[in-house]
Every structure is written in C-alpha cells, then in structure tokens.
Amino acid sequence: MKIRKFELVTTLLKFDQKGEKTGWTYILIKSELSNQLNPNIKKSYRINCTIDSLKDLEFSILPIGDGDFIIPIKKDLQVKLKKKVGDKVNIIISLNSNENQMDKDFIEFLETEPKAKEFFKSLVGSHQRYFSKWIESAKTPITKANRIAKVVEALSKRRGFNEINNI
C-alpha cells in the first residue's frame, strides 16, 4: 500500500566512520516506512517534511542499503531546531509532488531541438532538475531566455552542466 504522508517520532543520529558520510547527522527512515511512501524505490528521491515546528522543508532522502534511507540534517538546521544528536524530533514526511516538474518554457523550447531533447532524456533525473532549477532561478525574463538558449545549445552538443560555459 502506497501512502503519501507519514508521521513519526525519532532520534537524531550521527555516523561515526562511514566513508563520505563520516560525521553526518541524520534521521533514519527504515525500509518499512520508505517502501510505504515510495514503493520499490532504492535510489534517492525528494521529500517535503515538517520537523518539529519547522514547516515546508525539502530534502533528498538518500539510500544507505537494505531499503533504508537517511535524511541528512545539516548543522544550521540543528541550530534552528535547537536539537543535537540523541534528541527526539517529530517529523511529518510526504513525497515531493514537484519532483518531476520541469520549467515549462524550457521543456517547450527543448521540444524544438530533437538532439538536445534526446540527450536531456538520457540524463539522470537529478541532472535534468538541476538544469531546470538553474533556468527557473533567473531573476529576469531576459536572463531566463538566455539560460534556456544556452542549455539547449549545450545539450544539442551532448554537454552537461559543468561544460555549459564551453559552448
């Protein structure tokens, strides 16, 4: 059964020696809950949540094996929560409903360039969203239009985000 939201009281944990995650503070989401929220998904995905009184938080939930996931909790968030490792938190989690929504103007323009569209579709979702979010973050319509043109040109040359300025 797939649910869209759940609430739990849990403890802030911290990794000791865990490769790149050494020293991270996190919230553990066991496989039973993650599978109810997003069944059979074993890769990272976006969630919305409320932790204690902080609402409208958005995170990537990261897989750590055996179907378990973590929500990394950065130091600045711990300060806002007034919580430390070992403290209990109340968390309400739901799937991010905007996860797969791309900038409409970008997608519309991308439709006119088959090579760019084909390469874009071959990229992993997080890279696709990165392009779209960069375009959406433009402060003016002219900047947005310039970014769309730059991205589509780079994609048509099979270039990723890091190579965008080399076109």
Residue in the block written with tokens 């995650």: 21
pLDDT tens per residue, range 3-26: 578 899 999 999 987 777 788 999
The answer to whether residue 89 scores a pLDDT higher than 90 is yes
Cβ-contact 69, 62 below 8 angstroms:
yes
Report the amino acid identity of residue 80: K
CA distance 29 to 67: 9
* pLDDT score of 166: 55
* pLDDT score of 3: 52
pLDDT tens per residue, range 22-79: 889 999 999 998 888 888 888 888 888 999 999 988 888 899 988 899 999 999 999 9
* pLDDT score of 97: 64
CA distance 135 to 71: 27
* pLDDT tier, 1 (very low <50, low <70, confident <90, very high otherwise): very low
Q: Which residues contact 14 (CB under 8 A, 6 or more apart)?
A: 23, 24, 25, 26, 85
CA distance 72 to 77: 10
Q: Which residues contact 70 (CB under 8 A, 6 or more apart)?
A: 21, 24, 26, 27, 28, 29, 61, 62, 64
- Higher-confidence position of 148 and 39: 148
Q: What is the mean pLDDT of residues 118-137?
A: 87
pLDDT tens per residue, range 97-122: 665 578 889 989 999 999 999 999 89
